[in-house]
Structures are given as structure tokens and as C-alpha cells.
Amino acid sequence: MVSIEEKFMVNILYRSESKIFNGIDISTVNFENLIKLASSHLMLPALYFNINKKNCSYLFPDDFIEYIKNIFAINKARNEILLTEAKELSELLFENNINHIFLKGTALLLSNIFEDIGERMIGDIDFIIKHKDEEKVEKVLEKNNYFGRHSVSSLRFFRPKHLPRRINKNKKIAIEPHLELLAPGWRGVFNSKELKNDFKKGVKTYQTPCSSFLFNHCIYAIQIPDKGFFTSHHSHRSIYDIYKLDYKKSLRIKNIKKDIFIKHFFLTTDKFEIFDIQIAPSAFRWHCDKSFRLLIVLYSRLLKNNKLSIIIQLFFNNELRELALNKITYHYSNKTLLNYIYKWLIA
């Protein structure tokens, strides 16, 4: 069920000025609920930008417009700082021969997909490096006063998605160096090999992926890490990114029938009538998709099983296995072998 406030927000964000009232009785809109909804989707700046662009501020209370105008101004000022710091970081990494590519919100801003940089709310500066540069980038960042609270354990079987988040006390925006795009269990769907050609370019300036990569990354991020595929949750920030990326050019239409994650995203957002894409499946195809989705959900549950993950690591990581066996030798107890290893390893 789509609330009247969400319908109104969708009209403002995605439709022309003449269609803002489609299906809307303005007298029934609760503006406090609209603020809460837009805020929960990180869309207050984009909402203000589109209200201003479409000359419809007269529809809203003055204090409503004043509030979201201030949010937009603060966000735009922050994004200006973010872009400056991202470019400074890029120069630092290239000075040390560390090839890198910006990701997510930072990449979208640098790719100029928005009409105004104040539209998009962004957390950290995300970028990805080559696996071979992991130790090097850690040293370079520490030398230049980027410090993190945690470190990545050397006793690991799976490569982490990213290195610890780091903050420079002389900077405003935190940074997050990525080694991969998704968590270990999902790298068969989407991994850093997708950026192989971009890394080969060797351009000594800030780099962003192509629009088709940005499109796919937006889809998989909302579908897998943000659980959209498992709960039918939607994020208007992600929807807005994909809308602004010119989805018809970025999407290879034939892939929509093959890729269940892309298909599910568009089926989930179909109720808003934002994207002009016909993907209604046949009855047979619908049952196949349902069955496949169930299998993926069961697989994701297995990935969350810590004991299973530790068993896998003990089989393949010689150093970890030797430490575990030595620990058991010196500290024998009546607990079962599996529980003892498990509790020791997570301590």
C-alpha cells in the first residue's frame, strides 16, 4: 500500500510539473509525514531541488520549504567539501602509484549525473583498489593521518569487502577503501573483475566507473547488502540514482530476463510507475523466479551461520587451523570440539 505522501513525493521527484497532482488531493497530504518519509529515504535535498525546479513551492507551508531549503544548503556545502577531499585523496594515491576507482555516491557526483550536487546525500568517500595494493594503501593512509578504529585480521579465508573506515582529523569526510564490491558469498554475482578494464586505463586523475557499472552497482547494493531482494524493501535514494543514470541506456534490456536481482528491483518499484519497462513474467516464469528466489534466501541464511563459516576457514586456512589445534592441546575441556573452537575463535 503506497501512502498519499509517498505518491506525492514520487510525483514531485519523477514526473513533470503538469503531472504533480496525478492521483493526489493536496488537502489530504500530511506534510509532517512527508518530511519523515523523505528523511527516512535520505531524499530531503532532492525533494527541495525538484520542488524548486518545478515551481511548486506554493503548494507547501512556508516553514516546510524553509526547513528543507536549509537541509539542501547544508548538504550542498558538505558535497562541495566531499568533492574537494576526494580529489585530494586521489592525488595522494596516484603520487604513491596506487590505482583506484571511486564508487557509490562519490562516483555519481564525480560523473555529473545530477543537475545540482546538492541533490544527493552521501556518507563516506568510497573507492576500490587492487588487491595487491592492500598493505601499501594502509601504510600510505596512516602516514597521511587517516586513522581507523579497527584493523583487518590477517587470519582470514575470505577477502573482506573493504578495509577499516578511516578518518583524518583535518578532513570532514571519512573514507572507505574497498577490496571488493559485495560480501564473500555474493561475489559470483558481482565482483571487482567488473572493473578490470577501468583499472587498465592507468589515467592519472580521479576515475569513476562507466554508467552501466554504476547502474548495476546501485541495483545489487539495494538488492543484496540492503536486503531489498529478501524483503521487497525499496529505497528512493537508490531509485533516484537509477532514474538519473538514464536507466534505458544503462540497462541491457535482455539482461532483465536473465538477472533475477535486476528483475526483482523493477518489479518492486513497478507500483510507482517511474520506469517505462515492461517485465511482467508469464505464470511459468513467475513460479521459476519464486523458486529460485527461495533458494537464494536459503543460501543467504547459510552464509550467516558463523559455525559453518569457521569450519570452512579451518579447512582452508593452515595458519588458523594450526593455532586452533595448539589451543585445544593446551586448554582441553569437556566441551565438544566444534563449540570449543567456535567460542575460542570469536573471542
Reported as a single tens digit per residue, the pLDDT across 318-327 is 555 566 666 5
Q: What angle, 0 to 180 degrees and rounded to 10, lies between the N-to-C axes of helices 62-95 and 44-53?
A: 120
Q: What is the pLDDT of residues 47-95, one digit of tens each?
A: 999 999 999 999 999 999 999 999 999 999 999 999 999 999 999 999 9
β-strand pairing of 100-102 with 125-129: antiparallel
3-state DSSP assignment of residue 100 = strand
Output phi, psi for 94, to 5 deg.
-70, -35
Q: Which residues, 6+ apart, have CB-to-CB distance to 168 below 8 Å?
A: 144, 145, 146, 147, 175
Angle at the Cα of 143 (from 138 to 147), degrees rounded to 5?
65
pTM, two decimals, is 0.79
Residue-level pLDDT, tens digit, the chain, 347 residues? 789 999 999 999 999 988 998 888 889 999 999 999 999 999 999 999 999 999 999 999 999 999 999 999 999 999 999 999 999 999 999 999 899 999 999 999 999 999 999 999 999 999 999 888 888 999 999 999 998 876 655 545 567 788 889 999 999 999 999 999 888 877 878 888 888 777 766 666 788 998 888 988 999 999 888 888 877 788 999 999 999 987 766 665 555 656 778 888 888 888 899 987 766 555 545 555 556 556 666 655 555 555 555 555 555 555 555 666 665 555 555 445 556 555 555 55
User: For residues 117 and 79, what is the distance between their CA atoms, to the nearest angstrom?
Assistant: 7
Order across the sheet with 175-178: list the strands.
100-102, 125-129, 175-178
Complete DSSP assignment for 128-142:
EE-GGGHHHHHHHHH
- β-strand partners of 166: 175
User: For residues 88 and 54, what is the distance between their CA atoms, to the nearest angstrom?
Assistant: 35
Residue 344 near residue 330, CB atoms below 8 Å: no
User: For residues 292 and 75, what is the distance between their CA atoms, to the nearest angstrom?
Assistant: 41
Q: For residue 327, what pLDDT is reported?
A: 58
Place of cell 537541509: 71
User: For residues 296 and 312, what is the distance between their CA atoms, to the nearest angstrom?
Assistant: 20
3-state DSSP assignment of residue 118 = coil
Residue 101 near residue 207, CB atoms below 8 Å: yes
> Contacts from 157-161 at CB under 8 Å and sequence distance 24+?
157/312, 157/313, 157/316, 157/317, 157/320, 158/184, 158/313, 159/131, 159/184
User: For residues 161 and 184, what is the distance between their CA atoms, to the nearest angstrom?
Assistant: 7
